[in-house]
Every structure is written in structure tokens, then in C-alpha cells.
Structure 1
Amino acid sequence: MPKLTDAIKHLIIINVIMFVAPLLLKMDLTNLFALHLPQNKHFGVWQYVTHMFMHANEWHILFNMYGLWAFGTPLEHMWGRNKFLFFYFSAGIGAGLIYTLVNYYQFNGIYDQLINMGVSGTEIQQILDTGQYNEAVISLSNKTMSEFYALYHTPAVGASGAIYGVLVAFGLAFPNAKLAMIFFPVPIAAKYFIPGIILIDLFFGLTSYSIGNIAHFAHIGGAIIGFIIAWYWKKNQFKY
């Protein structure tokens, strides 16, 4: 078992504190620290950082912290603490930004359709506040309206975007390392395993087959930012 490195140790401690403390104190910090859509009144720029330390449940934080430890430890050994922290936060913030852009585009697309139907901005806000609307006036499907409501109200939490960045960087640094899933315990080289996971996320993100409330585009965003940074560092590491 690899030794717990400084940056990863402190990241895990902060994540655990942010998960346990609100439970013990019976506080709900979701509106303050989770990442909301910019149109939502609870949105704050700081949430691009703080959402990385919020988790939905025990399994969510367990899997994320395991991924941080398992794939981040070799990277921190290779890069050092400061470089790893820069990478981790860049991937996490980038994941949040890309997730926001996708949701912003989807939300505005439905918003514009409602405006074109003659629904006023005030009426749209009432729909978002109450979840109720006049089906005789609005011809959009219940599924579309439910998605519109969910985009506005559902915040993103978790370090998954940053972890996906770490996972991609691990794959670039150790492409032949063998990895396996719990539900598919067949060892596969990282250079095949990691792109496969990202393609699965992309499929779920672009279709209606997603299992559970998972921010697939945050995963993809973290993977993209992680790839760009890790690829650049790998390409230029001997040029200084």
C-alpha cells in the first residue's frame, strides 16, 4: 500500500471534515457551497472550488477519496506537492466550468423556447419557483419541463471532476498499468481502460440512459482539462 502523500492526505482530511461536520452539526451547506447554475439565486463564484469538497453520501465520498489516493499518489510522487495541487484544482475548477457551460446552454435553449411561446420572464421564474405550469399554454413535453426545473435547482457536488483529471494524468504517465472495476474485475491497461470510462460518461451525458443523478459532463470536463495539462507537462518536461 503506497504511503499517503502530503497533498492527498490533507485533501482527504478536508473532504471528510466537510462531509461529517454538517451531519454532526445538523447543518445544510448545499446552497452555500454546492455548484449552482448561474441563474440560480444561490450561485456564487466560490462554488467552483467549494463544490469539490461536498459529497452526496458515504459511497460518493468513499469512491472519490479512494480514486484520489489510488491514482493521485503516484502523480504527487512524480510531480511534488505544489504541482499536484495546482493540477488537482485546475481539473476540478475546469470540470465545474465545462459542466456549467453545458447546463447553461441546455437551460437557455428551453428558456428561449418558452419566451418564443409568449411566456414572460416573470412567469418562467414562477415555474422555476413552484414547478407548476399551464399545459394549455406551454406545448413543451413534461420531460423537457422537468429537465428545465432540474437544471435550475440541482447543484453539483463532489470531487469527481478533479478525480477524472487525476485518472487521465495517471493514464498518460502509466499507460500500461493494469486497472479493473469492481463490477468488471478483468485487468485492462490504463491506456484502454481510462478512455473507455470517459466514452461511457460521454454516452450517458448525451443520451437519456444515465443511471442516477450523475454530472457526466463534469467528469468529461475534468478529463479534458487534466489531459491538456498532463500532456503539456509530459511533452515539455525535458525542455527547461
Structure 2
Amino acid sequence: MRRPSAYRYIRFDLIWIPAVKWLMIINVAIFILQGISGIRPFYDLGLVPRSIWHDGKIYQLVTYMFFHGGFWHLAFNMLALWMFGSMMERTWGTRRFLKYYFLTGIGAGISTFLFTINSTIPTIGASGAIYGLLVAYAVTFPEHTIYLYFFIPIKAKYFAMIFAFIEFMASIAQPFHGDSIGHIAHLGGMVIGFVYLKHHNIWIWFGKTLRKTLDRTQKRQRVKEEREKENIRQDIDQILDKINRVGYQNLTKKERKTLDQGSAYLRDREKQQ
């Protein structure tokens, strides 16, 4: 059955959809608490790729979605969440909407993790999930009209294609101009959302592949750390042998420094295990 032609245009009403409402409330509340407290825990709760595999902070793949770096960052994300999220939750239902929202948000975080695995710079924001919602809207309602910059009418499918192209080019150019925008996360959210909507079974393969990748990465890191510890132990043993022979007072400054730093390093590693 064909929908009335008027339905081809996005219609946003003031009816609050449950999941969208609570996602907006939580995001805004966290942003307000950041401002009141002055605390910006981006390195603990933002997505820091190195912390995920080195310190096991897997939870960052979820928590990073609820923190924003500034008012306009939050405002644009919440506006898009209300626009596209309300339509998708109304169409899919709350349960499927939330599953998709977190799937694309976490998937965007995983994309950032895989492409910047040793980075210590935090990524924050719901943008990955928001871009995923844009794709969902374009796939579900490809002929609907969206007003680009509120003035230029464009079909949803072309709107999503334009933004995908922009994010793709920006992610390629980012190493050269070095902006702080999470283009990889944006593109990752779009790609993962599209693949999920078109090929559900691929996620079984993707999950297995991701687990294997994480296991290999953690194994390599453990081997590297064990080698470092073994080298430090050998250096310390040599210094201790010298102490037994000639006494601590006859150590060089370099040997004393090596002994102190090596002992401290080994103690720290033992505490972390």
C-alpha cells in the first residue's frame, strides 16, 4: 500500500519517544554535571584505544558515547537524535531501536580502536550512533525529503551518501590537517549500520573476527611485556651480583638509577596482575 505523498517529507512532532527521550536526558544531564563539577573524565570514560587493550577498559566502547566536548557538539547530536531517532524508534519499536543505536555506537568505537590502536587521545560523543541512525533513516525511507541546512531539499538516500563521502574524504585527509573530529567513528557508524541492515548474518563473522583480533593483540602485548621484564630482571641481577662483590657504594650513578627504576617497574607490573 502506498503512503500518502505528504508522508514523503520528514514530519517531526513533539511526541517524545521513550528511548530517544531518555538518551537525550542522560546525555544532557551528563553534560550539565561536567559543567557544574568541572570534571572532564575523558581519559577514563572516553574512548582511548591504547587503554582498551593495554588496561582492559572495554567499557569505554560504551561510555564514550555519553560525553561531549562542547555545547554545539552536544546540540547537533541531540537534534539529529531527535530527528532521525524518533522516526526510527516509532518505526522499529524501542527494543530494536536501542539494539541498533548501541550496535552502531559501539561499532563506531571499535572502528576508531582498530584504526588508531596505539592512540592515547580520547574520542567522545554519540556521533557514531547518530550517523548510524542517518543511514537507517536513508535505508528505510530513501525517498523522503530532508532539508539540507534547513533550506535545500534533498532525498534521504542522497543526503546519507553526501555525508558518507564527506566523512570518507575527511578521514583520509585527517592525518595531514590534524583536526580533532572523529571522522573514522562517523564513517564506522555508517558502514556498520548499513551492513547490519543489509546483511544481518555478517555480524556472527564480525564478532568472531574481532575477538580473534583482540586476543592476538593482547597476546603480543603480553609477550612484549614479559620480554621487557626479563631484560630488566637480568640487568637487576647483574647489579645485585656487583653489590655482593664490591658493595652498593661502588655502583655507578647509572647502575643505581637502573636498579631503582627497574625495581619500581617490576613492583608496578606485579600490582597490575
**5+ long unaligned stretches in structure 1:** 108-150, 234-240
Deviation at 1:101, TM superposition (A): 0.5
The equivalent position to 2:115 in structure 1, one of 102, 106, 111, is: 102
The equivalent position to 1:75 in structure 2, one of 76, 88, 106, is: 88
- Percent identity over the alignment? 37
Partner of 1:162: 129
- 1:164 maps to a residue whose letter is Y
- The structure number with the bigger radius of gyration is 2
Query: Contact 2:64–2:125 (CA<8 Å) still a contact in 1?
Result: yes
Change in 2 beyond 3 A, CA 1:37/1:199? same
The total of aligned residue pairs comes to: 186
- 1:59 maps to a residue whose letter is W
**5+ long unaligned stretches in structure 2:** 1-11, 201-273
- TM-score, with length taken from structure 2: 0.64
Deviation at 1:59, TM superposition (A): 0.1
1:214 aligns to 2:227 (yes or no): no
Counterpart CA distance in 2 for 1:179 and 1:210 is 31
Counterpart CA distance in 2 for 1:42 and 1:21 is 26
Query: Relative contact order (C-alpha < 8 Å, sep 6+): which is higher?
Result: 1
Partner of 1:142: none
1:68-96 per-residue CA deviation (whole Å, 9 max, x = no partner) reads 11001111011111110010000000000
Matches within 5 A, 1:16-35: 16-35=28-47
1:201 aligns to 2:167 (yes or no): yes
Partner of 1:38: 50
More helix by share: 2
- 1:187 maps to a residue whose letter is P
- 2:45 maps to a residue whose letter is F
Query: Contact 1:71–1:167 (CA<8 Å) still a contact in 2?
Result: yes
Deviation at 1:181, TM superposition (A): 2.9
Matches within 5 A, 1:1-240: 1-2=12-13, 3-38=15-50, 44-104=57-117, 107=118, 151-152=119-120, 154-182=121-149, 185-208=151-174, 212-232=179-199
Deviation at 1:176, TM superposition (A): 1.0
Query: Contact 1:36–1:43 (CA<8 Å) still a contact in 2?
Result: no
Query: Contact 1:204–1:210 (CA<8 Å) still a contact in 2?
Result: no
- 2:18 maps to a residue whose letter is D
